A and B are shown apart, each in its own frame.
Chain A
């Protein structure tokens, strides 16, 4: 049922200066064997050295203040970062995404805001600053809406952001909440026209009778301004909550997926979309499975996959039929009878699905594992990685406190050799597919010294707990890393922990 919703008030952005921690010195690091670890930036290093580049925070109140670049960041650090009252629920980051070059990093939050960070350019004077991200643009993407027919409020939380490849000087991204997808154009303005004939400098109209000479307006430089304008609003096409959006490799279409349907849009057309998947049963009482994530193939514009709450992945070819209810491939791993419990189905529900950059594999995240599937093998994954298997004996408690329904995302690195996903206690995990080594790292404020080297963490599963280990019962389940992103070509990662955005990079000599 399509409804017309009230018009939205959209704001343009302002350029905000950096809000950043002061720098420190690099420290030494040794691999577990005691010798310095090799640096392997090209191939990706699951267990390599990771250092904190910066921790970014854009709380609501701070963004309203005007801040100069030269302000002593230590002072700001003390007064704002430690004052928890500045962190509101609206600031909780709900999605993180690098653009195709890695120059820009976008975050969406629960308050419907999008904040875009830009990578600092390399300069001879400040070599250390390369790799840091500054606030580039902030804008309100979605506002809370009210669905009058159902008497329901539609949350403004940004569920997903996806960048379009850059085709001109402006940047384009899609952002979505539960019901509406928007295409935003982010562009820079560093010149403005001056010398109009009919308007004076303040923009007031001049009386034509007073004009005695004519002049040609010229463009004069001005302070850089970054503007975000909504170019398209794709609304009223989803009855259920949108969980995924994915830009097609043809750059002309994209898809949006909700719990039961997937729609295909053309960027130019906002008042209609094609429904390409519909798993809503005729009788809703028979509903036992929902769509949890969907993504287009990175190269084949006719192919996409979608995952379900039953742990299955379907690959569909849009050339086969208009409505892709019949899949081309069906990926499902047979259940392990020894691990069967009442929670088996819930923990098999896939929370995220991602194609590898090569397009040859897909990666899926369920509650306890990350799996890599080869597109040519449907009956089982080629690789399975345990994220936090020590939770398997705690499933009942996790069901009780609802943590079992947490939806973790997963990401590939640029070369598809390392995969990363989040866990609890602000831990996140990396798995190197080649060396089969893995590492657990923590995004925490205690270790927030800039350029601080991340120490691998370990969870003690029983028996004697070593000094640096943390026991399962001490884990903080309210601190969960659901959203992470990996730079498309370099070893730079962005990790969202509540309202903090951590940027880490591989230590480079």
Chain B
């Protein structure tokens, strides 16, 4: 019934979800959102439904007070502010994560650890395709940085790492194998990552904007 290799995470019982089940459901939903936005063109209905589910879980967790209390450095903020904006999570890979979600915030959503920063709203909205001419804002980290974090961190931050991948379609299996395998898969996993990554991005943002300008020029002239 389940795809091979995926452990059954949630219980079959539909009784009111305990905090643990709720957390695992949240993790699963966030992972789904990230994965589905790695696709060339995500299914909008599916993304909306998952995002609504995430929002619902977060609201309930807030009401229950499951979110950890703020530390001194964030005194004065209500727990709601630290709810990871689902729009940030849903950021379309094409639109380019701009600004890229702060890893600390995503980690907080996953592990209920106090966040130190509230992620800003995404300009232009995550659902939209990038309109040429619109500022892309942030830009993906260089692949080196991504690979670096891959080696050092465990699967717990899969979601934040996957969000950095460029806008191309990725072989999900290869990515999952490469990432979750962690240090074990070593160069193999990274190679897979590299082989399916987007066409090499030059110096990051400037190259992207240059490309877009070029495309816009072509469009305008035709």
Contact = CB atoms under 8 A, between A and B. Distances in A.
Interface in B114-158: 121-122, 124-132
Given A259-B44, A400-B9, A285 B87 contact: yes
Contacts of B191: none
Interface in B1-50: 1-3, 6, 8-14, 17, 21-22, 25, 28, 32, 40-41, 43-46, 48-49
A288 interface: yes
Interface in A368-397: 392-397
Nearest to A178: B41
Contact of B48 (A4, A241, A289, A395): A289
Interface residues of A, number: 42
A152 B92 CA distance: 13
Interface residues of B, number: 49
A349 interface: yes
Interface string A397-423: 101111001000000000000000000
Interface majority SS on B: helix, strand, loop or mixed? loop
20 contacts: A4-B222, A148-B215, A150-B130, A151-B40, A284-B125, A285-B85, A285-B121, A287-B125, A287-B127, A309-B49, A342-B57, A345-B56, A346-B53, A392-B14, A394-B12, A396-B10, A397-B8, A397-B10, A400-B2, A475-B1
A285 B49 contact: no
Nearest to A289: B48
A260 to B, nearest CB: 8
A343 B125 contact: no
A343 B44 contact: no
Contacts of B125: 283-285, 287
Given A149-B219, A396-B10, A405 B49 contact: yes
Interface string B52-71: 11001100000000000000
B49 to A, nearest CB: 5
A284 B128 CA distance: 7
A395 B219 CA distance: 47
Nearest to A241: B44
A292 interface: yes
Given A345-B49, A405-B49, A393 B44 contact: no
Interface string A251-287: 0000000011000000000000000000000011101
